């Protein structure tokens, strides 16, 4: 079964060019929605941005493929679980980014925290993920950890609003539910969906360039679909 279908209908205009200055201004005034729960495990992702020729670009990774890994092969932001020695979720995001793709964020400009999200009920019901945004001002060569990442890429924010990239993603375990996704590379392979889509959608909302209209049914993924499945 194919894992996506296009939205169809009229073409949606591209996102107007958004530079780092605009992103910086909007994030500086953002109050993140945080989840304060001592009973949850914690993880963090890094929303790494750089200046591009047409607009700011965001760093995305394609996770390594492993049988039994619920995130196997997914498109994602670099990140992972908090470890002993991490003073904050921001430190976790920076550490994981260096470990996974070799990008050092110690001297990067910190743009602020986005929001917290709780993992879905089947895969990670006790996990809270925090997202932190960084501006990478200097060029760095990727050094991928093959145990974690099979590919890393930069994608322009201006390209996210192309209607041809907005697809409905199908999870094999839930063939009757279609989730909103964005193609950022090869069709049927490099599709941002699920929690990464939620974070990306939130970034666009904060910088006041939201997706023009909803598609798919992300609420099913967030609220009920996984909880209704047997182990």
Q: Is the pLDDT of residue 145 over 50?
A: yes
How far does CA 85 lie from the centroid of its chain? 25
Helices (H), 83-226: 89-101, 194-206, 218-219
Residue with tokens 């500086």: 28
Rounded Cα distance, 229 and 231, in Å: 7
Q: Is the pLDDT of residue 4 over 50?
A: no
Q: What is the pLDDT of residue 172?
A: 79
Percent of the chain with pLDDT over 90: 62
In terms of pLDDT, which residue wins out, 17 or 64? 64
Tokens encoding 48: 């790494």
Rounded Cα distance, 51 and 45, in Å: 20
pLDDT in tens, 49-61: 999 998 999 999 9
What's the mean pLDDT when you consider all of the chain?
85
Rounded Cα distance, 122 and 71, in Å: 12
Rounded Cα distance, 65 and 54, in Å: 32
Instruction: Tell me the average pLDDT across 14-22.
Output: 76
DSSP 8-class letter at 120 = P
Q: What is the pLDDT of residue 23?
A: 96
Please give the domain boundaries of the chain with CATH numbers for all domains: 4-224 (3.90.79.10)
Closest alpha carbon to 3 in 216, 226, 228, 224: 216
Q: What is the pLDDT of residue 215?
A: 79
Q: What is the pLDDT of residue 231?
A: 28
Instruction: Count other Cβ atoms within 10 Å, centred on residue 40.
Output: 17
Instruction: Tell me the average pLDDT across 128-141.
Output: 96
In terms of pLDDT, which residue wins out, 1 or 166? 166
Q: Is the pLDDT of residue 96 over 80?
A: yes
In terms of pLDDT, which residue wins out, 82 or 172? 82
Closest alpha carbon to 167 in 14, 61, 9: 9
Instruction: Tell me the average pLDDT across 158-173.
Output: 88
Residues β-bridged to residue 75: 62
How deeply is 6 buried, as exposed, middle or buried, from its count of CB atoms within 10 A (0-12, 13-18, 19+)? middle
How far does CA 17 lie from the centroid of its chain? 20
CA dihedral 92, 98, 103, 105 (to 10 degrees): 40
Lowest mean pLDDT among 24-28, 106-110, 137-141, 222-226: 222-226
Instruction: Tell me the average pLDDT across 167-176.
Output: 83
Instruction: Tell me the average pLDDT across 118-128.
Output: 69
- The CA distances from residue 164 to 57, 118, 171, 194, in Å, are 19, 30, 20, 19
Tokens encoding 52: 């591009």
Q: What is the pLDDT of residue 176?
A: 81
- The CA distances from residue 73 to 56, 107, 188, in Å, are 25, 30, 11
Instruction: Tell me the average pLDDT across 152-175.
Output: 89
Q: What is the pLDDT of residue 17?
A: 63
């Amino acid at each position: 079964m194919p894992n996506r279908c296009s939205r169809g209908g009229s073409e949606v205009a591209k996102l107007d060019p958004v530079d780092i200055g605009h992103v910086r201004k909007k994030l500086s005034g953002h109050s993140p929605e945080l989840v304060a729960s001592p009973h949850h495990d914690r993880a963090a992702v890094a929303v790494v941005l750089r200046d591009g020729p047409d607009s700011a670009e965001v760093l995305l990774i394609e996770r390594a493929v492993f049988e039994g890994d619920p995130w196997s092969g997914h498109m994602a932001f670099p990140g992972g679980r908090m470890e002993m020695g991490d003073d904050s979720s921001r430190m976790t995001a920076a550490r994981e980014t260096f470990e996974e793709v070799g990008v050092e964020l110690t001297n990067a400009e910190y743009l602020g925290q986005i929001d917290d999200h709780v993992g879905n009920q089947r895969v990670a019901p006790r996990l809270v993920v925090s997202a932190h945004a960084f501006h990478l001002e200097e060029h760095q060569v990727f050094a991928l950890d093959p145990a974690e990442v099979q590919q890393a890429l930069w994608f322009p924010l201006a390209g996210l609003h192309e209607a041809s990239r907005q697809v409905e993603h199908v999870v094999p375990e839930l063939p009757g539910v279609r989730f909103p996704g964005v193609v950022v590379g090869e069709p049927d392979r490099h599709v941002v969906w699920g929690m990464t889509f939620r974070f990306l959608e939130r970034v666009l909302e904060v910088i006041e360039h939201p997706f023009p209209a909803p598609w798919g049914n992300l609420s099913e993924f967030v609220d009920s679909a996984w909880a209704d499945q047997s182990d």
